[in-house]
Amino acid sequence: MKAELRSLPRSLADLVAQHLVASGRFLDDDPELAYQHAKTARRLAARLGGVREAVAVTAYLSEHYDEALTEFRAVRRMTGNHEVLPTMADCERALGRPEKALALSREKQVKDLEEGSQIEMLIVAAGARRDMGQTAAAIQTLEVPELTKRTRADWLPRLRYAYADALAEAGRTEDALVWFHRAAGADQDGSTGAAERAAELEGLQFTDLDDEDDFVIQEVTEEDEAPAEDEIDEDEITEEDLAAAAEALKATADDEDDVLVDDDLDDEVDVAADAEDDLPAEAPADEVDDQDEDEEKPKD
């Protein structure tokens, strides 16, 4: 790229370089903004292959597949770089033309691509087969020796995931589960989501924790599903349940003076009974009458 920029006037080269740097900086976080910077660079220096490639890549990542395909064709013509073939084929798929994607996968230059690019072309070709309803052919396309290769290459988890996904679509759930686990084992950063797919097939789900960075895997069964409130069977309520509810109510009453439970009522009844015992016994009716008469007589 630096060599290409030297072919431009110094001031123009600096301006183009600034837009290319900005495009690369925003590529991961904001592909659309990166695409706009690349297009500005193309307007200033459309004859530079590096500039056209920047436009192609940013257009592809921001899902402007038609323009991306045009730019990748220009890059291939201007630079002779055939490593763009897998991405061109994927653009054809995205535009709803799987037959053209398969045609690109059969071009003679494919066998001369780097290993990673060849694997990417296999994945795209298998996807095109699936787009056409040819799931069995997609599985066969991906059954290559590289599936079991020991390598840390980025393409390995993607290849295994694509194979597992095709098996799942074909209804071969057990085989798919095996390969999703193998894809997860090779996926160091979890970019494929293979572990989550394996969990789904096993009847598990990932539950995020609010206060922790890790996650918990829970098994989902029919017994674990709580019944709706209107579906609770009252016959299933036991004496232990009632006792537990009473204890909970008692604990709440300890903090609120105006709340009483059965035990509190019993205490109040006991206190009242003790108070009655302390009172003098009632006088007989005759004595009461005599007292009243004595009170009515005037004193001498």
- Count of beta carbons in the 10 Å neighbourhood of residue 4: 15
Residue entry with tokens 């690109």: 104
Output the pLDDT for position 7.
87
Q: Contacts by 164-168 with C-beta closer than 8 Å and gap 24+?
A: 164/194, 164/197, 165/197, 166/126, 166/130, 166/135, 166/138, 166/139, 166/142, 167/139, 168/197, 168/201
Domains contained in the chain, number: 1
Residue 273 has pLDDT above 90, yes or no: no
Q: What confidence tens digit (pLDDT) does each residue in 144-195 have?
A: 999 999 999 999 999 999 999 999 999 999 999 999 999 999 998 899 999 9
Instruction: Kindly state whether residue 164 falls inside one of the protein's structural domains.
Output: no
Residue 80, helix vs strand vs coil? coil
Bridge partners of residue 217, in order along the sequence:
206
Three-point CA angle 73, 40, 6, nearest 5° = 80
Residue 31 lies in a domain: yes
Residue 5 falls inside a structural domain: yes
Which ranges constitute the DSSP H helices of the chain? 2-5, 10-25, 31-44, 49-61, 65-79, 85-94, 98-105, 115-131, 135-142, 155-169, 173-186, 194-201, 239-254, 262-278, 285-296
Encoded tokens for 246:
């009473």
Residue 19 domain flag? yes
CA-CA distance, 89 to 110, in Å (whole number)? Answer: 11
User: Quick one: tokens of 11?
Assistant: 């001031």
Query: Does residue 18 lie within any of the structural domains?
Result: yes
Residue 254 falls within a domain, yes or no? no
Asked if 59 and 35 touch (Cβ cutoff 8 Å), the reply is yes
pTM, whole model, 2 decimals? 0.67
Q: Quote the CA–CA distance of 207 and 215 in Å, as a whole number.
A: 6
Question: Which of the residue ranges 41-45, 71-75, 94-98, 286-290 would you say has the lowest mean pLDDT?
Answer: 286-290
CATH number, residue 4: 1.25.40
CA pair distance 77, 47, nearest whole angstrom = 12
Q: Which residue has the higher pLDDT, 271 or 83?
A: 83
Which structural domain range is residue 64 located in? 1-80
